[in-house]
Structure 1
Amino acid sequence: MADKQGKKGRRTAKSGSKPGGRLARLWSASLKSGRLVALIMLVVFISLRLADPAPLQIVRKQTFDLYQRLKPREITARPVTIVDLDEKSLAEVGQWPWPRTLVADLIDRLFAMGAIVVGFDMVFAEPDRMTPDSLAEVLPGLDPEMRDKLRGLPGTDEVFARAIANGRVVMGQSVRNDAPPQAEDAPTTSVAWVGGVDPLPYLEPHGGLVRNIPLLDHQAMGRGVFNVSPELDGIIRRVPMVLNVEDQIHPSLSTEMLRVATGNTTILVKTPKKGQGVEGVYIKPKLIKTDEAGRVWVYFSRYDTAKYLPAVDVLNGTAPPEMVRNKLVIIGTSAVGLLDIKSSPVNSFLPGVEVHTNIIENVLSDTQLRRPGYMLGSEMTIALVLGLLLMIVVPLAPAVWTLGTFIVVAGGLVGTSWYLFAQHLLLFDPVMPFSSSLLIYGFLTYASFSREEAQRRQVREAFSRYMSPALVERLADDPGQLKLGGEMRDMTLLFCDVRGFTTISEQFDAEGLTRLINRFLTPMTNKILEHRGTIDKYMGDCIMAFWNAPLDDAEHARNGCNAAIEMKGLLVGLNQDLKAEAEAEGRRHIPLNIGIGINSGICCVGNMGSDQRFDYSVLGDNVNLASRLEGQSKTYGVTTVLGENTRALVPDYATLELDRIRVKGKTLPVTIFGLLGNPEVARSEEFQTLAAHHGEMIAAYRAQDWDTAGAALDKARAAAEPWHIDGLYALYAARLEDYRLNSPGADWDGVYVALTK
């Protein structure tokens, strides 16, 4: 009985401490699972969305573009016709601008065919140059009587103005910051606003307006701005229905055409009683809902040729009457030469006039796209809820369940966004909540596998003692690569060898020679690794290295050249140390000198060998050429010889053309270069002088002008003293002397055949 009571008491005590223990374990688990970091990430992501940088805007808008491409607006009616100044019309009537009498005839014919409103997607900012008064002054050979007759004829602008006054015409206007100030008597459209805030500060601002000449402007029933501005990526998505021009509200062309067509005298801009921005533009009986800046999201149809009517057909009387009767008509252009081509989410190339047509069709057919102000709050709320859900599920559930949860979340976001667009024409951005969910899911998944990664790190540390660190990393990330085979890559190869090593080795016993080789190879290897190179192998006193494998290196040629330059510089200090040791030991000191060959090109790199044993190495003709170039460094008296492929990748380095040679084992000649320094050296006055004389020598040598080549050689040899390449010019001096006595012949191609490797 007592034992039962004790057990009961222990159970009670344990139960009583359970809430505190759970909280402690929950906090510890939150830290270990990464939930706390994930929560911080979620807050940062929501803050980033509020800041809304340009890349985020572009991704969001391109998502909406995708929806329009998948489901462009269906064309159920064509209330608008575009009278097109197309290529056909320009070819038959003449280049634009046409005489104003011809444009007046075009208006008269359109109204005679039953047009409701005619709008111009252009501006007539200057008087007609073809008016009789102007012609009377400029036409040569006219007698006074004829000049007087011309002056007595009515002006073409007056004829155009009378045609405008006879119908419902909306003239186009253009916003431009350097436009002249408006005249005090310039006609304007009555625009008022209702609501709680003045909309003017929120509208798209412009510093000036290019108007039509007053004679035309005063006769029109309306005037509208036809400019449409693309988004950051050059695509037209949103177009203002009203604009702020010099602190006055002006309607767009489509807004004004709708006002004139419906017989309204005033446009109302609606603003919220509380809050900020614009809610919409009211043209009785339609409320056109806009964003806070008074812009509409245009729902585009596919490019519709059926709404285009060539202007020449109207003038010729061959236009189908039904295309004009009871229609709103916009006169614009699709001709490429008139530079009014835009890009929409649906069409990469779209005449600008069709943007206005799509807006009017959106309004009249109730197919307006909308992105209400509450959408941003909804998207951030959903992102917050989904992020918290993933923080709970991912650390606790098995991997397959967490993946399933994420797929459901992602699919639900995309599906909801598409449903709102397809069924309700609402623009809901799935990118922000999807991206935050993906980020949190990825981080939490990574945290769940951190212990496994720690084990992999131990494996890397163990194997790095035997293999290249870069290769160990690659194999750890993808063990499947541990097999025979290779890949073709553009690489840079380097071979480095000690000159006269046989003679040097005679000064040492086996142990001393081993120490010498290690003292030489260690700093040289470090320089190669510092410049992102990979050591392929050591062959006695020779080093073979390459760049751009296994890790990508876009600057592989530059890194190879930089390594070679610094390897040469290391020899100064190393030889000083070796000389001091030789003197202390009473033996002869022979300085270490190296020859380096560098070449670039396509090679096969990968695991080479047998199924039982293989090494990560490189093969190919470009590898063999690099080895041959190293051998030529002794012949030409320079430390580093570059192949022409490498030289093409480092044009700003200090290099001299050495020769065109046919190396042993190759049938085609190659141009080889000596590497003397980095770009800073190349820009020096001393090198520029050397390069000029050297180039003159090579050119004369190839032209078999031995005297000129000899004179240039002497100048180059004097200028080259700081680089210690006298052996190069001794070689050419011997060649010149030989060729003076034994001419290579008129068909000589300047190629030297290398007899040694």
Structure 2
Amino acid sequence: MEFCLIGQFKKKLLQFGIGFLLLAFIFALQKNAFPYLDQFITRSNSFIYDQILHLTVGNKSLPPRVVIIDIDDYSTQAEGRWPWPRDKFVTLLSNLKKAGVVVIAFDIVLSEAEINYAQGLEKKLQSINNQTLSQELMPLLLKAAPLIDNDQAFAKTLSENEVVLGFLFHDNPDIKKGALPSPLLFNNSQSVNTLTLNFLHFTGYNGILNLFLKAAGHAGFVSNVPDLDGSVRHGLLLAVYNNQLYSSLALSSVMRYLLADNVELMTRRIQGKEELYGINVGGLFIPTNSKGQLLIPFWGGPATIPTYSATDILHNKVSSQELSGSIALLGSTMVLLGDLHQAPLSQSFPGVEMNANIITGILEKQITSQFDWHTNTGIILILLSGIVFTLLFPYLGPVLLPILFLFFITIILIASYLFFHFKNIFVAPGLLLALISLQALANFTYSFIQERRQKNRIKQLFSQYIPPSYMKEITDHPEQVNLGGESREMTVFFADIRGFTTLSESLEATELKRLLNSFFTPLTNIIFDHQGTIDKYVGDMVMAFWGAPLVDEKHCHNALAAALAIRGKLPEINQQLNQLNLPSVKIGMGLSTGIMNVGDMGSKFRLSYTVIGETVNLASRLQDLTKYYRVDILVSEASRHHQDDILWMPVDKVIVKGSHKAVTIYEPQGYYAEVPQEKKDEIRDYEAGLQAYYKQNWQAAKTQFETLHSSYPGRYLYSLYLARINAFISHPPSSDWDGTFRHVSK
């Protein structure tokens, strides 16, 4: 027993070695050694996060501490087009203050002065050579200018309210407009080196009019940084410009609400490097990643946060009870102002509402923490998982391995969901999923190679048997057999047992031999009865051809008749197998007609009368594709055109692996006269749907295939086309698409 276990362990050493190499690869991936793969994992994590967010959003009640004052289409229709005169902002701020709003945050950038029309007219008069007119109007304009200076009035109102203004960071160093607020202050005389921490650095900005900045005294940036797929999931709280650290509008608003003038950056050493993991504001901890970002705590889709039109505030149409004690964010949801962003819950999510969600999440302590795989805990989890997968997978068979693979994938995803839902922690599963997928793929590949080797050994065993028909033709008509080789039109046939590997592992050697003999004997008889030549048996596969050694003008007709007869014989074969206490089998057959080379080929040690060529390769690929399309027989276009008394079902237009030529493949339903009318009607409806598919009339095709799928749910082909149609609706094909599907595997 001990010797057996040691022997099994030695046989698995190569798989163990591959497993540990893949584990090392994952650790290299963790250190961004492969940027493109790292991006793929990041996108995968983003997709999973979006799905979890969709499942959990809306489960929490929304506290009324944050409101949005929306400069929407309704407001611009009532008050005039944007930008508005600054006197409207004066009224807006005054009304919000009266309503009891604690902090007012501007999610708009006020970087330019408003035109003072009295001053403008004064300058115009100075350029006009009309002394009388200037003497009469100039004193009036000089007197009126201060009275209609909206910027001064707005600045005065700013100084009388708790206001946080917005500015914009960007990466255009040529644009530096307006003024920036003072950098962020830290408590306890904390020293922060912005070059050593992993903050985002910007090179340009759209600042604030200095008059307004001095009056308000507080500001924050409103810049959004989308993820790789263009979606905004993270809110940036801190950013660096000119080696100085600045706070976002959301963070600055929270600071004003909590009456905090400074913050404390929470850092830790990870793998010898100082990294940020949170911010402390007035005793309130905000979890972040190393870049100073947090996952935006979406409370729902757009318009979830209480929102009021700016015009209603201007005209006192909103009660103080709805606004009192709140933080009010002034922004716009209008498309023309361009503050709509792709987000997990919407393709057009207002930027002002993103900030409102962030502020609400911070104040309610509902910010989702992000598990860091670079920590010791993360490294240990990856290491333990990799060791378990490396030692376990090599011992799993082809049936159990995919089951456990899917089981582990499901467990990882469920765990990620549970941590998010109950602990408010997002454990990005991308690295673990990559690890288990690579481990499973490596073991699948190894098993496949072993299976091919097994089939080759069976091939060597069976190829020593010369086909009886070949020997008979040589004996009876040697002059008609060209052993030297020639090219002629023929039909070639391939068939094999589905799931042969699983069957072979479940049977003893003697049982396997009985099964193969019981299977091949009736198949061989049918092929011989229809004037076919057995080329070879390779494991569970039989290859035959028609049209050689003797010329057969009806080679295609006889081959198709043999295939249909084999399909009809299969129930009887399975019944005989069951009587022998052997499992039933399923079969896949592929036929192709065309020019091929036929003759005695091999070496001086062994020759075999066989066929080669593209037509042979195509037939082999068609037999393999029966598993993909879940049919018993697939026939090439050339074979189909030789036989008109059969009801044909066009399956697909494909380019098989190893070829560059598109062919239409068919499934024979039976002889036309013997097929029931219901099947004929089904094929007619299917061909109508297929025509709509090729014409890219997706909706018509989808309707037709949905009807067929509903009527014939067991027909996999209808599900396959529905999946393709849905994919093309989301991502239309290129303009040169002709309906061809390229198979990259057998």
TM-score by length of 1: 0.59
Aligned AA for 1:307? P
Q: In the alignment, what sits opposite 1:37?
A: 18
Aligned to 2:70: 84
Report the Cα offset of residue 197 of structure 1. 6.0
| 1:110 match | 96
Question: Do structure 1's residue 164 and structure 2's residue 158 form an aligned pair?
Answer: yes
Q: Give the distance between the partners of 1:116 and 1:97, measured in 2 at CA.
A: 25
For the pair 1:59 / 2:40, whether they are aligned, the reply is no
Partner of 1:322: 321
Counterpart-to-counterpart distance in 2, 1:469 and 1:426 = 62
In 2: Cα distance, 1:523 partner to 1:48 partner: 44
Note if 1:94 corresponds to 2:116.
no
Return the offset for 1:476.
Answer: 6.9
Distance 2:658 2:12 in 1: 45
Identity rate, percent: 18
Cα distance, 1:333–1:483 mapped onto 2, change above 3 Å: farther
Tell me what 2:365 maps to. 366
CA gap 1:483/1:360 in 2 versus in 1, 3 angstroms: farther
State the match for 2:654 in structure 1. 552
For residues 491 and 367 of structure 2, what CA distance do their matches in structure 1 show? 59
Which residue in the other structure is 2:707 paired with? none
Residues 231-264 of structure 1 show CA distances to partners (whole Å, capped at 9, x for unaligned) of 1111111122111012111110011111122222
Match of 2:602 in 1: none
Please state whether the residue corresponding to 1:81 is helix, strand or coil.
Answer: strand
Preserved contact between residue 269 and residue 278 of structure 1 (Cα < 8 Å)? yes
The amino acid that maps onto 1:334 is T
Match of 1:48 in 2: 29
The 3 A distance-change label for structure 1 pair 426 and 322 is: same
CA contact (8 A) 1:199 1:271 kept: no
SS of residue matched to 1:270: strand
Q: Pick the structure with greater CA Rg.
A: 1
1: CA distance between counterparts of 2:49 and 2:641?
A: 61
Query: 2:199 & 2:107 partners in 1: Cα distance?
Result: 21
Pick one of 642, 645, 667 that aligns with 1:606: 667
Q: Secondary structure at the match of 1:343?
A: strand
Given that 2:190 and 2:264 are in contact with CA atoms closer than 8 Å, whether structure 1 keeps it comes out as no
2:186 corresponds to which of 185, 192, 195: 192
Listed as ranges, the gaps of 5+ residues in structure 1 are: 1-17, 486-492, 497-520, 541-547, 561-599, 612-619, 622-644, 646-757
**Partner of 2:273: helix, strand, or coil?**
coil
1:40–1:353 CA distance, 2 compared to 1 (3 A): same
What residue identity is the alignment partner of 1:312?
A: T
Task: Describe the superposition over 1:670-716 as per-residue Cα deviations: whole angstroms up to 9, x where unpaired.
Answer: xxxxxxxxxxxxxxxxxxxxxxxxxxxxxxxxxxxxxxxxxxxxxxx
Deviations 1:479-515 (A, max 9, x none): 9997699xxxxxxx9999xxxxxxxxxxxxxxxxxxx
Aligned twin of 1:229: 225
**Which position in structure 2 is the counterpart of 1:313?**
312
Say if 2:214 is the partner of 1:153.
no
Partner residue, 1:536: 638
What residue is the counterpart of 1:299 in the other structure? 297
Count of residues in Structure 1 that have an aligned counterpart in Structure 2: 519
**Equivalent position amino acid for 2:157 in 1:** A
Return the alpha-carbon distance in structure 1 between the equivalents of residues 10 and 401 of structure 2. 21
Letter in 1 for 2:193: D
The AA in structure 1 aligned to 2:217 is M
Q: Superposed, which structure 2 residues align to 1:10-25 within 5 Å?
A: 25=7
Pairwise CA distance, 1:279: 2.6
The verdict on how the C-alpha distance between 1:164 and 1:447 changes in structure 2, with shifts beyond 3 A counting, is same
Asked if the contact 2:222/2:249 (under 8 Å) is kept, the reply is yes
Partner of 2:281: 283
Alpha-carbon distance between aligned partners in 2 of 1:342 and 1:100, rounded to the nearest angstrom: 27
Pairing 1:70–2:55 present:
yes
Q: Does 1:257 align with 2:253?
A: yes
Asked if the contact 1:205/1:245 (under 8 Å) is kept, the reply is yes
Within 5 Å, which residues of 2 pair with 1:554-703?
Answer: 559=661, 605-607=666-668
The answer to whether the aligner puts 1:204 opposite 2:185 as a matched pair is: no
- In structure 1, how many angstroms separate the alpha carbons of the residues matched to 2:181 and 2:116? 26
Distance 1:242 1:93, change over 3 A: same
The code of the aligned residue for 1:216 comes to F
CA distance, structure 2, for counterparts of residue 136 and residue 443 of structure 1 = 81
| Aligned equivalents of 2:436, 2:23: Cα separation in 1 | 8
User: How far off is 1:318 after superposition?
Assistant: 0.8
C-alpha separation in 1, matches of 2:294 and 2:4: 54
CA distance in 2, matches of 1:413, 1:522: 48
| Structure-1 residue corresponding to 2:10 | 28
- d(CA) in 2 for partners of 1:525, 1:68: 52
Residues 103-134 of structure 1, C-alpha deviations (whole Å, 9 max, x = no match): 12111111121111111111111111355323
Specify the SS of the correspondent of 1:175: strand
Correspondences of 1:189-588 after superposition (within 5 Å): 189-192=183-186, 198-201=193-196, 202-272=198-268, 275-303=273-301, 304-305=303-304, 307-373=306-372, 377-396=376-395, 402=401, 405-445=404-444, 447-448=446-447, 451-456=450-455, 472=494, 536=638, 552-553=654-655, 559=661
Matches of 2:496 and 2:204 in 1, distance apart? 61
Structure 2 CA distance for partners of 1:557 and 1:104, relative to 1, 3 Å: farther
Structure 1 residue 458: Cα displacement:
6.7
Gaps of 5+ in 2: 471-488, 501-539, 542-559, 568-591, 596-610, 623-634, 643-649, 673-682, 685-693, 695-746
Question: Relative to structure 2, which stretch is displaced further, 147-156 or 446-455?
Answer: 446-455
Superposed CA RMSD: 4.8
Q: Does the CA contact (< 8 Å) of 2:184 and 2:262 recur in 1?
A: yes
Q: 1:189 Cα shift?
A: 4.4
Report how far residue 211 of structure 1 moved: 1.2
1:270–1:280 contact (8 Å) kept in structure 2: yes
8 Å contact kept, 1:391–1:444: no
3-state DSSP class of the match of 1:280? strand
> Whole-Å Cα distance in 1 between the matches of residues 427 and 387 of structure 2?
21
Distance 1:184 1:101 in 2: 21
> In the aligned structure 2, how far is the partner of 1:135 from the partner of 1:267?
48
Give how far 1:475 is off.
8.3
Q: Is the 8 A contact 1:393 1:402 kept in 2?
A: no
Change (3 A) 1:146 1:305: farther
- CA offsets, 1:118-152, max 9 Å, x none? 11111111111355323555799996445643443
Q: Which amino acid aligns with 2:293?
A: R
Distance 1:295 1:474, change over 3 A: farther
Distance 1:286 1:403 in 2: 47
